[in-house]
A and B are shown apart, each in its own frame.
Chain A
Amino acid sequence: MSFDFSIEGRVYPSTPKKMSEIPDGRQPVSCTVKPPVYLQIGESKAETTQSGVCVVDVTLPFGKPVSIEEITFKNYYTAYITVRLLRRTSGQDGPTKWCTALRDLLLMDNPHTERGSQDYYSIHRKQMLVEADHVVSVRLILRQPSCAWLTFSLEEIKIFPHMEPEPNKEVSDWLSDLILVDQHLDAEGLPDPQTVSSSIQQMWALTEVMQTNQTTASIGRFDVDGCYDINLLSLTAWRKTPDQKQQTQQRCPDVPLPRHLLQLLRGGAQGVPRPAKKHSPFSVSWAIPWASSRWDESGTPLEEGVQEASGIDARATSSRCGGAAALLRAPPGWANGKSG
C-alpha cells in the first residue's frame, strides 16, 4: 500500500485546459470550511510568535456521509499538507473514526521561495492512503516551516463527490474489436489503405490546424469593418465597465512630476550638438513624466582609464563631464552615436 502511494501520491498542479470548461460538469459538495486554527506552543498568548502548523476543518453536510473523489484548493503559502478523514465505518449509524489519508504532501518545492505558493492543487482519491468513503468530516493540517511568510492557508477548498465509474472502456473495446475482426477478413474491394491513410493524415493535419487557429488570429484582421480609428486607450482593460470610460477621457495622468525631473527634461534639449538630421537621444524627452531622463545608461566620465570605446558601447564612455552636472546637461550616455 505504501509503495503504491509513493507512485500515486503526487499532487498534480492544475494543467492548462480550456478555461471555461468545467470537467464533466461536476458540482462540489456543499460543505462548511471552518476558519483556520493556528497552533501555538504552550498558552496561546495573542500571536506573539508565528505558528508553523494550521488546522482547517471541513465539515460535510450532517447525516450525509460523502465518498470523496477529489479535493481541490488554491494554495496560499502552505508548504506541506496532511489530510485526515473522519469516516463512518459501517452503515449509516456506525461509529466514526479518524484516519490519515495523506501525510505531508509537498506543495512548495522550497518552503522559503515562491514556487507553488499560490498554485491550484487537486488531491484525487487514488492518491489517498485509505478509501475515502463515508466521510463525515475532513481535517486539513497545513505546515509551513519557513518563517519568511506572514501567514499561510488554503483558499477555494472544494470537495467533489465520487461517482460510480461508468463503463469507460469504449476506446479499448473498439480497438480490440477491430483486431479480432480483422483476423478473418479479406482485403478485396477495399480502397487502397495507403491512399486512405495518407488522406486521413491530411485531414488530421487540417483539423489540427483548424483547432490551433480557432481564434480571430487566423483571420488576422484587427479592424472592424475596415475601421481602426482610435483616439484613446481604455484604462479599465478587460473589465466590462463602459461607464468608467468617460472619466478616463478627462483625467490627466495623475503622476506627480517632480521639479528636478522637469529640469532634467528641459535640460535634455541642450547638450552636445549632433550632426544635423540625425535623431539624437539628446533631444529626447520622455513620454512618461516619471520616466528617467537619465536614459538607460548613465553617464560615465572617463576616470578609470577605460580604452576609447568603439561603436556599440561607446555611449557609456562619452559624456566627458562628471556626475550630476552631466545629468543636468543631458541624458548622458549617447554622445557617441554616429558623431564624428
Chain B
Amino acid sequence: MDESTELSLSIAHIAQRLQGSHLHSQIERQAKVSRQLPPSHPPAPPEHLKEPLAYMRKAQASWEKRILKSLNSMSTELGVPLARKRPAAEQKELTNKWNEMGTDEPDLSRFRPVYAPKDFLEVLIGLRNPNHDSCEDISARSQWGLIQVPLNVRDIPHLRQAYSELNLNSGQLGIDDHAHVHPDLFENDYVQIGKKVVVEQDSAAAQQYSRRGCPTGLRADLWALILNSTNQPQDVMHYEQLRAGVIQHDLLVDNLIYKDVKLTASNDDYYFVFEDFLYQVLLCFSRDTAVLEHFKYNSATPPKSFLHGKVGDEEYAVVYPPNGVIPFHGFSMYVAPLCFLYNEPSKLYSVFREMYIRYFFRLHSISSSFSGIVSLCLQFERLLQSHLPQLFYHLRQIGAQPLRIAFKWMVRAFSGYLSTDQLLLLWDRILGYDSLEVVAVLAAAVFAFRAENLMEVKSLASAEAVLADLSTLKVIPLIQIFLFATAI
C-alpha cells in the first residue's frame, strides 16, 4: 500500500468514525448553513454594517466630534494630559490600594462629566431624515412626539407575539413567586428547571428560561451562561493584564470614571457599598482593547489619537481610551447592579463587558437598531400615543413631554431607578429576549400606572414629582398588564 492510499484510508476511517459523533453533526450543520447561503454577492461596506442609514451615521459622527472637542479642551484647560505613564512610585502606590480605591479622595472638582443623558436627548430630538417629507407634519401623528425619525417600532399586537412568554397565563418570577402564592404552585418547579439548565450548561435554554425570570440563587450562573462568560483561567489572566494596564498608565477618563462613581453609585443607597468594585471594573474596562471589536456593529467610532509627538504618523495612531468608549454621566450604573451577582472581580468584569458589547452600547449611540435608544424613545412615545392618547395630549399641553421624563430611565436601562430585585427581574427579560425593547415597554407602563395622578398635574415639575420614586414599583406585573391586559 503506497503512502497516499494509506492516508486516504485513514481519512476515510476517521470520517466513518466521526459519523454519529458530536463533531460530525456540527460539521454537517455548518455545511448546510453554507450551502443555503445565497449565491455570493458583494459585501456591504463596513460603515453600512455599523449603521445602514447615512443620516444616522452623520449625526453620530457629529455628536462624537462634540465630545472629542470637549475632552480636548478639558485636557488643555486643566493641563492634564489625556494619557501618561505613571511614575514608578505612583504605580506602587496604586498597586497597594487597588482594593480600596474608594478611600482615596482625589481632588476631582476640576473635572466635569462630559455629557449627561439630557444633552444626548437634545441630539436625538434634533434628528431628521433629510428625505422625509415634513411639510404636512402638522397634522401627522409624528409631530406629537419628540422623536421625528420614521423608524420601525412594534405596536402592542406585535409585542404580544414577540413576548408571548410574559402572557397572563404563564408563571413569572416577579409575580408568581410573591409571598402569598404557595411556592408549590409555580416557584418550586420553576427553580428545579433552572437548576437543570445550569447543570446542563445550555446557553440557549438559559436564555429561554430567563424570559420568565431567573431565581435569585441561580441568576449569576444563568446570566453567565447566556453571555458565555465562563471565567476561564485566560479570562482571569486577561483581567490581570488589564489591571496592569491601569497601574502603568494614567488616563484622563479615569478621573471621569471616579467622578461618575462618586456622583452616582456612591450616592445611591443600594450601590454605595460597591464603590471599590466599580472602580476596578470600570478602570479595567477602559483599558480593554477587546471592546473595540464591537465597533464593527456599533454606529459609534472609537476616538483616535497619535502618540506624543508623532502626529499624523499612522504607525503611532492609537485609540483613546484603549477601549474606545468615553464614559458619560451615569455610565457606572451599568455595572452597579451586577455587583449584586458576582463577587469575583474578573467574573464581574467579563459579565459586564459582555452586557456592554451586546446591549448597553446601544443606549448611548445613535442608530436605527431595534434596541437602539432612538427606537426605544420612538417606541415609548408611540405606545403612549396609541394607548393613552389623552394622557399624552395632556402632558404635551402642559409642556411635560413624556419622553423628557422617561429618557433618563431608558438610557440607564432603569438602573438606579428601580429597587434592585426589580431591576434584575427586568434585566432577566433583556437577556432572555436579547433586546432592550422591554425597557421602552416598562417606561410606557409606568406612565400608564400613574396615569390618574398624571392627568391631574399642571406642570413638568409636578409630573416629574409624580414619577420621581419608582423604587416601589413591581415591574413584571406592570409590563404584563400593559402588554396583555390593555384593550387594543
Contact = CB atoms under 8 A, between A and B. Distances in A.
A33 to B, nearest CB: 16
A64 interface: no
Interface string A269-291: 00000000111110111111111
A220 to B, nearest CB: 5
A109 interface: yes
Q: Identify the interface centre among B9, B43, B459: most chain A CB within 10 Å of its CB.
A: B43
B469 interface: yes
Looking at B45, B290, B311, which has the most chain A CB atoms within 10 Å of its CB?
Answer: B311
A150 interface: yes
B287 interface: yes
Contact of B10 (A14, A190, A220, A334): A190
Given A228-B307, A287-B74, A151 B465 contact: no
A148 B471 contact: no
Interface stretch (A36-44, A52-60, A92-100, A247-255): A247-255
A3 interface: no
B19 to A, nearest CB: 9
Contacts of A24: 40
B49 A16 contact: yes
B8 interface: yes
A204 B469 contact: no
A161 to B, nearest CB: 14
A313 interface: yes
Interface stretch (A80-88, A128-136, A314-322): A314-322
Nearest to A213: B290
A7 interface: no
Contacts of B418: 312
A311 interface: yes
A304 B318 contact: no
B453 interface: yes
Nearest to A304: B462
A222 B245 contact: yes
Contacts of A221: 289
A150 B132 contact: yes
Contacts of A21: 43
A229 interface: yes
A300 B462 contact: yes
Interface residues of A, number: 125
Given A233-B82, A246-B311, A22 B42 contact: yes
A196 to B, nearest CB: 5
B304 A298 contact: no
A117 B53 contact: yes
Residue from A158, A277, A306, A310 whose CB has the most chain B CB atoms within 10 Å: A306
A233 B71 contact: yes
Interface residues of B, number: 135
A35 B220 CA distance: 59
B70 interface: yes
Contacts of A222: 245, 287, 289, 318-319, 322
Contact of B70 (A253, A296, A313): A253
A298 B469 contact: no
B305 to A, nearest CB: 5
B23 A224 contact: no
A196 B85 CA distance: 49
A297 B320 contact: no
Interface in A70-107: 70, 72, 76-77
Nearest to B130: A150
Contacts of A194: 17
Query: 7 shortest A-B CB distances, which residue pairs?
Result: A242-B312, A311-B269, A222-B322, A193-B17, A316-B468, A279-B262, A122-B41
Interface of B: 8-18, 21, 23, 31, 37-46, 48-49, 52-54, 61, 64-76, 81-85, 105, 108-109, 111-119, 122, 129-133, 149-152, 238, 241-242, 245, 248-249, 259, 262-263, 266-270, 272, 287-290, 292-293, 296, 301, 303-308, 311-320, 322, 329-330, 368, 407-408, 411, 416-419, 453, 456-457, 459-462, 464-471
Interface of A: 12-19, 21-24, 50, 69-70, 72, 76-77, 109-110, 112-115, 117-120, 122, 124, 126, 147-151, 158, 171, 175, 178-179, 181-182, 185, 187, 190-191, 193-194, 196-197, 200-201, 204, 215-217, 220-224, 226-235, 237-238, 240, 242-243, 245-246, 248, 252-253, 255, 277-281, 283-292, 294-304, 306-307, 309-314, 316-317, 322-323, 334, 336-338
Given A242-B312, A313-B469, 7 more contacts: A182-B12, A229-B83, A245-B311, A246-B311, A279-B262, A312-B268, A337-B267
10 contacts: A72-B41, A126-B39, A149-B132, A178-B11, A201-B23, A217-B289, A222-B287, A238-B304, A300-B465, A310-B471
